[in-house]
Amino acid sequence: MYNLKSFHTYLTKLFFILVVSISFYMLFLQTQAFTPDSQFNILIVNSYHNGHKWESNVLEGFLGSMEEYDNPYVNIKLEYLDFRSSNDSLYLDTFKNFLTTKYPKGSIDAIYTIDDEAYNLLASEISNPKSEFYQLPLVFSGVNEDSLVKKQLSPYITGIYQQDVTFQLLSFIFQLDETVDEIKIITEDSGYGNDLIAQVSTLLDTYWPDQVELHCIQSDYIEDIEYNLCTDNPHSNAIIILGGEFQYKKYNKFLEPNETVNIIKSYCNVPIYSNDQTYLSTGIMGGCMDIGQKQGHSIFEIVKRMIEGERVENISPILAPPPQWLLDYNSIYNYDVEIINIPEQSIIFNKKFYQLLIPAEYKNLFRSLILLIGCTFILFTVLGIKHLYRHKKMKKILQQKVQYEQLRTDFIVNLSHELRTPTNVILTAIQLIRLELSSTLEESNHNAVYKQLDNITKHAYRLLKISNNIVDITKLECGKLSFNPQNWNVVEVVEDIFMSIQDYATKKQLQIIFDPEEEEFICAIDKELLQRAILNLLSNAIKFTPPQGKINGTIRHNDAHLIIEIWDTGIGIPQDKLDAIFNRFYQIDNTLTRVNEGSGIGLCIVKEIIALHDGSIQVTSQEHKGSRFIITLPYIQTHKTSHHGYISSIETAVNIELSDVIK
């Protein structure tokens, strides 16, 4: 029991010690790592001058990544060896002394050298115990892999190896155009230039023997290059490989990359390739290039690991990011590159989002197609706008017309209404005069007065007829005329009308015969309206049938229809006018010398009345022989009970309707 308790205490103690040691270890590790309040100073030494294109790109990538990292305790010190201005041992020693004096031990935490020259100058200092830079972490870029592998790297040195991309560049060139028969290298007089020429020459001998002629122009000065280009014209299937930076002899000033390209192009118009990013977007064809910004970014990733406490010995050197195959969009077409030959991994630059990478012949076709589509679109838009405008205009005209028509109809209806009142007053006055005359005087003594009164009555009825017709046709057209069908014996209804016009017919020496097939046809009709229609047909028959003529009427039925026919032996209607007579205001003889009076509305009202009954009306006629009107009504009955609804006074209605029959 005792032993168990002491074992438990022992375990607790052990656990406590373990926790304390882990915490202590963690604390210790943290002090080793970067603490936010301690400064981390990086000395960046460029091999060339301030503004050197390649080094500026690398620096841009490095500083860009640093900005993203956003750590205020990381500082940069920038120095330029400017190797191409001066590179004798005295200068190099002096520059080295300058750096070690300016940055004594403890003032910087890491050195970053861009390109070989700066690296070669400072790498030895790292393993020199007497140097201020002894055992200081050094990061390199732009140093050829081969030159480093041979040397034993100090554990304090790391970075990214520059890979030679000349093989990729040549492969790229021959893939785009296998007919290339001359390569002209234009490069600076430097280690880079020497390497470029040596690499191209070796690779051509090894992989493309006897295929191309190699010519080189190597100088730091543009004037020398111009002179060479002047004297040695390249073949038509030649290409130029351009690399390095050039100066004017006279001004001792570096040319902008596009200036160099333009000068070369002014001497020979052959595709220019490069492995130097400096020449990207200067009008060259393209090339296989290391991208400086990418290298700068990779270097910062290494430095970041150091900032965060990783020891330089644990960070192994890595290879530079793979080069990119870049091709200028416009040059593809300027130098007739076959689209099919463009390697898949190529990046096309200077290509606008709307441009397509297609063969030149398709491009023209495509352009024409786009132009055609564009023109068609414009044409249709213009036509559409025009159509819309015309439609709008027509709509406006139509609206105006409808408005005008409405105004006209309203005016005529009002006028007709207004005419009715005085006409009725005239008719009443005439009746009173007649009464007065009959009570006081012998009718035979006043024949002349009675004749004039008859005349006034007849014309008053004509006025009423016109007014009624106009009001009715307007009501019919607006659907305001009430339609009230009830079951009636149609034979009786029609016979009544035939009988009521008997006097008029006799006066005009016409024979009237109404002969229905049966005595009774009970059918749902609006009696008043149907009587008006029949009266109109009969009044026309009387009007247009000369004395001694005949007017006939019949009613028969056929299955679902009731057929009412009225025919005469009158003047007839010309065949080409048969359809028009049902139109509003239509009269066949509308000359001032016409024999019969009328307004040309009657048949139009008849047609509308029959249509209200869901029926139809047809006419057949022969000139000088007569006319036949055939009304077809649905032979149906309604549940509504019928009550008397004769035209208020059939006699007055007949008088009004036939007012224009006898003069």
Least Å from the CB of residue 627 to ligand ADP? 4
Cα 563–chain centre separation? 62
Encoded one letter per residue, x for contact with ligand ADP by CB under 6 A and - for no contact, window 49-88 reads: ----------------------------------------
What is the rounded CA–CA span in Å between residue 303 and residue 42? 9
CA distances from 512 to 499, 607, 655 (A): 9, 23, 17
Q: Tell me which stretch binds ligand ADP (CB under 6 A): 137-145, 321-329, 411-419, 568-576.
A: 568-576
Q: Per CB under 6 A, does 541 bind ligand ADP? A: yes
| 114 versus 470: smaller Cβ distance to ligand ADP | 470
Q: Per CB under 6 A, does 552 bind ligand ADP? A: no
Q: Per CB under 6 A, does 599 bind ligand ADP? A: yes
What is the rounded CA–CA span in Å between residue 131 and residue 323? 37
Helix (H, G, I), strand (E, B) or coil at 78: strand
Q: Could you say which residues in the range 9-38 bind ligand ADP, by CB under 6 A?
A: none
Q: Per CB under 6 A, does 317 bind ligand ADP? A: no
Angle between helices 602-612 and 527-543 (to 10 degrees): 150
User: Cβ(299)–Cβ(112) under 8 Å?
Assistant: yes
Query: Quick one: which of 263, 600, 636, 650 contacts ligand ADP (CB under 6 A)?
Result: 600
Query: Quick one: which of 460, 564, 573, 610 contacts ligand ADP (CB under 6 A)?
Result: 573
Instruction: Return all residues near 413 (Cβ < 8 A) that are at least 6 apart.
Output: 470, 471, 474
Least Å from the CB of residue 479 to ligand ADP? 21
Q: Could you say which residues in the range 89-128 bind ligand ADP, by CB under 6 A?
A: none
User: Which pairs from 191-197 meet CB under 8 Å and 24+ separation?
Assistant: 191/116, 192/243, 192/244, 193/218, 193/243, 193/244, 194/218, 195/144, 195/164, 196/166, 196/241, 196/243, 196/244, 196/275
Q: Tell me which stretch binds ligand ADP (CB under 6 A): 261-269, 372-380, 518-526, 592-600.
A: 592-600
| 127 versus 620: smaller Cβ distance to ligand ADP | 620
Query: Quick one: which of 166, 219, 331, 540 contacts ligand ADP (CB under 6 A)?
Result: 540
Q: Tell me which stretch binds ligand ADP (CB under 6 A): 141-149, 189-197, 247-255, 579-587.
A: 579-587
Cα 358–chain centre separation? 25
Query: Quick one: which of 92, 216, 419, 588 contacts ligand ADP (CB under 6 A)?
Result: 588
Label the pairing between strands 626-634 and 561-568: antiparallel
Q: Per CB under 6 A, does 481 bind ligand ADP? A: no
**In the chain, count of helices (H) and strands (E)?**
18, 22
Query: Quick one: which of 234, 257, 323, 598 contacts ligand ADP (CB under 6 A)?
Result: 598
Query: Quick one: which of 586, 630, 642, 650 contacts ligand ADP (CB under 6 A)?
Result: 586
φ/ψ (deg, to 5) at 645: -150, 45
Q: Per CB under 6 A, does 602 bind ligand ADP? A: yes
Query: Quick one: which of 587, 632, 655, 659 contacts ligand ADP (CB under 6 A)?
Result: 587
Query: Quick one: which of 460, 571, 617, 654 contacts ligand ADP (CB under 6 A)?
Result: 571
Least Å from the CB of residue 386 to ligand ADP? 43
Encoded one letter per residue, x for contact with ligand ADP by CB under 6 A and - for no contact, window 606-645 reads: ---------------------x------------------
Length of the chain: 663
Q: Per CB under 6 A, does 544 bind ligand ADP? A: yes
Least Å from the CB of residue 569 to ligand ADP? 10
What is the rounded CA–CA span in Å between residue 194 and residue 501? 131
| 481 versus 603: smaller Cβ distance to ligand ADP | 603
What is the rounded CA–CA span in Å between residue 362 and residue 370? 12
| 589 versus 651: smaller Cβ distance to ligand ADP | 589
DSSP E strands in 48-172: the ranges are: 74-80, 110-114, 138-144, 157-162
| 287 versus 553: smaller Cβ distance to ligand ADP | 553
User: Cβ(584)–Cβ(646) under 8 Å?
Assistant: no
Number of residues that bind ligand ADP (CB under 6 A): 22
What is the rounded CA–CA span in Å between residue 651 and residue 632? 26
Least Å from the CB of residue 567 to ligand ADP? 8
Query: Quick one: which of 115, 125, 276, 568 contacts ligand ADP (CB under 6 A)?
Result: 568
Q: Per CB under 6 A, does 279 bind ligand ADP? A: no
CA distances from 138 to 156, 263, 302, 311 (A): 6, 40, 11, 12
Which residue has the closest beta carbon to ligand ADP?
A: 598
CA distances from 126 to 75, 78, 123, 129, 333 (A): 21, 19, 6, 8, 52
User: Cβ(264)–Cβ(240) under 8 Å?
Assistant: yes
| 120 versus 599: smaller Cβ distance to ligand ADP | 599
Helix (H, G, I), strand (E, B) or coil at 258: helix
Burial label, 127 (beta-carbon count in 10 A; 0-12, 13-18, 19+): middle
Per DSSP, helices labelled H in 140-180 are 145-150, 166-176
| 112 versus 544: smaller Cβ distance to ligand ADP | 544
Q: Per CB under 6 A, does 603 bind ligand ADP? A: yes
Least Å from the CB of residue 469 to ligand ADP? 8
| 282 versus 545: smaller Cβ distance to ligand ADP | 545
Indicate the DSSP class of residue 637: -
User: Cβ(60)–Cβ(292) under 8 Å?
Assistant: yes
Residue ranges that bind ligand ADP, judged by CB under 6 A = 536, 540-541, 544, 568, 570-573, 581, 586-589, 598-604, 627
